[in-house]
Amino acid sequence: MQRRTLGRNGLQVSAIGLGCMSMSSGYGPPADKGEMIQLIRRAYEMGVTHFDTAEAYGPFANEELVGEALQPIRSDVVIATKFGFEIDPETGRRGLGTNSRPEHIQQVADASLKRLKTDHIDLFYQHRVDPEVPIEEVAGAVKELVAAGKVRHFGLSEAGVQTIRRAHAIHPVTAVQSEYSLFWRGPEAELLPTLEELGIGFVPFSPLGAGFLTGQIDENTKFDATDFRNIVPRFSVEARKANMVLVALVKGVAERRGATPAQVALAWLLAQRPWIAPIPGTTKLHRLEENLGSVSAELTASDLEEIGQAAARLNLEGARLPEAMLKMTGR
């Protein structure tokens, strides 16, 4: 497995990481815990060293799962988790808004450390920008956690370039996490140039377009009632039908190169910058193996250019998130 470096402080991670959210929430009912522990450990055996979770996934259950799975190999891996939501500790109810008050960040860090069965968090992200708390206070709180040895690196998720610059001025931001794929190329306009200028790594979530770029989803696909894609405009039946032109493009290249659509999509993403380290999620071993195969997918410069230019000409339908969630992305 290739390695990539996030940020100027030298955080090294596997080129492909593992997003663990879907094991506990988001895409349907939670998967079997024992099977997911085995999957996480198998990922490590195959070279994955970067595992992404959050207190909000479950809530809490995903951190507990990741902590148990990685405890025997803790010193060999990078664990990323997140703070920033108000979650009822008794009921696990999450729909209470954001909370990045410094005292709350400290509390979340301590609780996450216990669930993750570790004495430090390698990469601690603000999950969503809190409009009620200046980002300077957030960065200052994480800086204190770094000084205390509880956190190694500071990250931001779905933050805009102004927020990133302000945070970075208080404490170095090692990585920014946002959605990025052929299905959503928004970061290319402002975010990627800013990260390059500041020396910050980029961790794309949903690098396969929440599964759409695998070629396994079409307008006839039925999602579980608890699957968040049911409320995403880009996953409406009409949008899926219209956006199949993108899948056809990726499939065409995949057939020529003896790869799968998912491998082509991930290989294209890896080729965009050497400091991009995507975190596709899965609950299936064969999908994990497929995703990791993207590191050795043989795409030529002309392949990459063809994919990028052709995809840019497409007018994909549907917003990437519901309106309420889009309002939670920072500026």
The β-bridge partners of 27 are: 227
Q: What is the band of 40 on the pLDDT scale with cuts at 50, 70, 90?
A: very high
What mean pLDDT do residues 49-61 have? 97
How far does CA 176 lie from the centroid of its chain?
9
Do the Cβ atoms of 259 and 267 come closer than 8 Å? Answer: yes
User: What fold does the segment set 3-326 form as a domain?
Assistant: TIM Barrel (3.20.20)
Do the Cβ atoms of 235 and 321 come closer than 8 Å? Answer: no
Q: Which residue has the tokens 């595992």?
A: 51
For 297, the token pair is 């997918």
Question: In 158-288, at which residue ranges do the beta strands (DSSP E only) sit?
Answer: 173-179, 201-205
The β-bridge partners of 204 are: 178
Q: Which residue has the tokens 């990685």?
A: 70
| Residue range 260-318, pLDDT digits in tens | 999 999 999 999 999 999 999 999 999 999 999 999 998 999 999 999 999 999 999 99
Active site residue 57: yes
pLDDT at res. 330: 74
- Mode of pairing for the β-strands spanning 121-126 and 173-179: unpaired
DSSP labels, 174-200: EEEEEE-BTTB-GGGTTHHHHHHHHT-
pLDDT at res. 128: 96
- Distant-in-sequence, close-in-space partners of 188: CB < 8 Å, separation ≥ 6: none
Q: Is 142 in a helix, a strand, or coil?
A: helix
pLDDT at res. 325: 82
Over 80: is that where the pLDDT of 95 sits? no
Spot the catalytic one: 27, 44, 57, 180: 57
DSSP state of 31: P
State whether the Cα torsion 153-158-159-161 is positive or negative.
positive
